[in-house]
Structure 1
Amino acid sequence: MSEPKQRIVATNGIRLNIAEHGDGPPVLLCHGFPESWYSWRHQLRALAAAGFRAIAPDMRGYGKSDRPEAVDQYTLFHLVGDMVGLLDALEVPSAVIVGHDWGAVVAWHAALLRPDRFHAVIGLSVPFRPRANARPTSLMPRTADSQFYQLYFQQPGVAEAELERDPRATVRSMLYAVSGDASGGGISMVPHGKSLLQAVEAPSNLPRWLSESDVDFYAGEFQRAGFAGGLNWYRNIDRNWELMAPFAGARIKVPALYMAGDRDLVVAFPGMDQLLANLRNFVPQIRDTLMLPGCGHWTQQERPDEVNAAMIEFLRGLPGRG
């Protein structure tokens, strides 16, 4: 089978680089941090072979896509708007939207806000979270000795200076540290006075699902684009909370699927066990919640065969899509 083709598409006032593969019902794949369209390399081929049109953009701030400088240009409304505009540019009336990590947040909210354009949703790692009763950063863990990694990301320039010092070492360590192969506790807390990478487990050898050429690809993307765009998504967490106030209590009403690894640090976040147990209250048409044994945070890269099979089964089961 041929390789995915890349091109630049104008959408929502910016330009996004997209990788495409296959023909048939469209499936839009949204990556997370710190990744790119390349995180869906296994799904692009599998979906195309199964008769679908797979579309994986470099999300706003990443890869070859545009990277607005202003922090407030990375709200959920911008990110969902990018995906709606992408469908417009491709002349696609509606699509199934799939997301991993931050891309899952975009996917869930795209299905919530625009069910007319996104008729089903698949979330990997991050489930749909209803709007909290307080600013999210005020609820994040912090102690006298350490702070939650998302708090470390808040001050512009701080994390960039660390992560951009050696993009290859950054990507190599971060991808390994929160995978199912790492023995440590991931990177959820950063000790005061230390940097993020000082708090993670560096790999002596890469796991079987990640090659040195994979690391080279990611490193090249961040060497060129930097990390500011991706970090700006985190700097809008409280702004997103404010913007979503009119939608408090709203439920996602399209068919949905959720998958995660049982060793994913997200699954271990405070309160996540209760959220997952009650996910159907907020996503009433959820078809299944799948936990992949031994899998860490990088769901579709660590377990491509299982993820592909579950995705294709879900897609083929949608009304009028078999």
Structure 2
Amino acid sequence: MQTRLIKTDGLTQQVLEAGEGPLVLLIHGFPELGVSWRAQVEALAAAGYRAVAPDMRGYGGTDKPDGVEAYSILHLVGDMVDLVRALGEDGCVVVGHDWGAPVAWHCALLRPDVFTAVAGLSVPFQPRRPKGPPTAAMAAISKRAGLGELYINRFQAPDAHQALDADPAMTLRKLFFAYDGATPADRRSTGFMPEGVSLLESIDDAATSPPWMTPAHFAEYVAAFTAGGFDGPLNWYRALDGNWALTAFLQGQKIGQPALFVVGENDPVRHYAGQHEEGLKDWVPNLTRSVVVPGAGHWIQQERAAEVNALLLEFLARL
């Protein structure tokens, strides 16, 4: 397993990679890094695959362009298309977790010639809704239900990253704690916050690192986000409405490749993205399996590495 820098089209990407064989691209989410896939890189390489996990645009050792406009879904998919080329490959299977799942789904949607199969962890494919931009819809739903404001809407503020940057170690500890399956249900975040209460304030100050998070692994995250900050990662959220405007041409389009979906039973993201699980087969007709892992939370590839590895290897073997 090695880490190296790869120059792609206008971007330098840091990747974690191992193995030889068919390429499997592993896309992380927020607030993670390519090293969140370490267990999968090891298992896939041992099984005869070439596994590559990049730090995504705005994260870790990869470049962090300025401005929300540099973080559209078209940029994120383009980064992966060109990474495949820079790796000397023509195509691959793409796997994404959290924010990486929408990127993986859109890789499959936009470039089926490059991404021959797709697996999404924690976040199902969410088709473009024709009635308007997503942040307004999320705000309206939250208000009607009396749930408070969804953190995704809070992240739209140009200065939202500053509170997270103030103490990266505390931010990361709280976020990993609040979305972990081992955290008691009454202390996990729902993603919704009362008016005047910030995301970090809504999470217990006594938050501890999850059982799977070693001090050394946590230190990797703290070092990366201390150096790079949270502005780039939050630009992924700030680009949501712009993505809606850019993807009108995808309205009604389905994903035709073989697909896998895996989610933790206790994943708090299901509070606001779970509605799309039920209709996933309608939009991804070649969905081979949709698996709910009992007791697992959001950080599923790290919480339940052995189970996720087995599911991915079974999926890949069928291909």
Matching residue of 1:18: 15
Question: Using the alignment, how far apart are the partners of 1:188 and 1:78 within structure 2?
Answer: 26
Q: Which amino acid aligns with 1:151?
A: N
Shift of 1:268: 2.2
Match of 1:127 among 108, 124, 144: 124
Instruction: Work out whether 1:64 is the aligned partner of 2:67.
Output: no
Matching residue of 2:74: 77
Give SS of 1:15's match. Answer: strand
Match of 1:214 among 209, 217, 240: 217
Give the unaligned 5+ runs of structure 2. Answer: none
Query: Is the contact between residue 26 and residue 55 of structure 1 (CA under 8 Å) also seen in structure 2?
Result: yes
Question: Using the alignment, how far apart are the partners of 2:61 and 2:287 within structure 1?
Answer: 34
Matches within 5 A, 1:265-284: 265-269=268-272, 272-273=274-275, 275-284=276-285
Match of 1:244 among 243, 247, 253: 247
Query: Is the contact between residue 29 and residue 97 of structure 2 (CA under 8 Å) also seen in structure 1?
Result: yes
Match of 2:194 among 191, 197, 201: 191
Instruction: Work out whether 1:137 is the aligned partner of 2:135.
Output: yes
Shift of 1:205: 4.1
Matches within 5 A, 1:152-167: 152-157=154-159, 159-167=160-168
Note the alpha carbon deviations across 1:83-114, whole angstroms, 9 max, x for none: 00001111110000000011000000000100
Shift of 1:265: 1.4
- How large is the Cα RMSD of the aligned pairs? 1.4
Question: Using the alignment, how far apart are the partners of 1:207 and 1:304 within structure 2?
Answer: 14
Query: Is the contact between residue 147 and residue 192 of structure 2 (CA under 8 Å) also seen in structure 1?
Result: no
Task: Name the structure where helix makes up a greater proportion of residues.
Answer: 2
| TM-score between the two structures when normalised by the length of structure 2 | 0.94
Counterparts in 2 of 1:31 and 1:145: CA distance versus 1, 3 Å: closer
Matching residue of 1:151: 153
Give SS of 2:243's match. Answer: helix
Note the alpha carbon deviations across 1:29-76, whole angstroms, 9 max, x for none: 000000000110111111111111000000000001000011100000
Percent identical residues? 46
Instruction: Work out whether 1:45 is the aligned partner of 2:70.
Output: no
How many residues were matched structurally?
312
Give SS of 1:198's match. Answer: coil
Shift of 1:202: 4.2
Matching residue of 1:112: 109
Give the unaligned 5+ runs of structure 1. Answer: none
Note the alpha carbon deviations across 1:161-186, whole angstroms, 9 max, x for none: 11111111111110010111222241
Question: Using the alignment, how far apart are the partners of 2:70 and 2:232 within structure 1?
Answer: 10
Shift >6 Å, 4+ stretches: none
